[in-house]
Amino acid sequence: MKLPHFDLPLVAILRGLAPEDAEPVGRTLFDAGFRLIEVPLNRPGAIEAMRTIRALAPPDALVGGGTMLTLADVDAVADAGGQIFVAPNCDPPVIAHAAARGLLCAPGVATPSEAFAALAAGAHILKLFPAEMIGPAGLKAMKSVLPDGTPLWPVGGVVPQQIGEWKAAGASGAGIGGALFTPGVGLDELARRAQAFVAAWRQD
């Protein structure tokens, strides 16, 4: 798979999304400009919620699963029409299987050894997790030894006020979790949070 170009390379991580909330939450995020949606599998109803968002997604959006730890997780997401593989860890056989199923692969790495292993297995994007531990300085150091152009997306504790610092260190995207979506958040508040992230990323 050739890595697509993303005008807004921010992933909305919808952990704990109830299937009945998937449509309004998805529409709110798409309306705000998000085009990358991840529904972590370690909560009930994740596949159903992902399928609902996938059905209403704009043509330029990608929707998939997160916390994908096994070959079975990969198959469940791919069979449901998911397009993205996201994991918190680096498991080369699972990454390779996801790549073979045609998913955009963004496994989690925290060290150069994990980063190179993930790339060798077929990763398209490296999810730097937990970003709070790695920090912009860690991202910058890792970027200096990885193949030129490797997409590095911090995930974990990213807030709008830090986006500029992450970008200056070399981040080419980011995953946004609890600072964007928490179960039960109102749609107006979700829209406000989403717009804050969009504005922060697009700020010169």
Which residues participate in catalysis according to the annotation?
38, 127
- Separation CA 195–CA 69 (nearest Å): 31
Q: Are 63 and 50 in contact (CB under 8 A)?
A: yes
DSSP state of 9: -
Sheet with 152-154, strands from edge to edge, namely 108-109, 126-128, 152-154
Q: Are 148 and 129 in contact (CB under 8 A)?
A: no
Query: Which of helix, strand or coil describes residue 93?
Result: helix
Write the CA distances from 127 to 20, 32, 44, 45, integer angstroms: 29, 23, 24, 24
- Separation CA 106–CA 99 (nearest Å): 10
DSSP state of 147: P
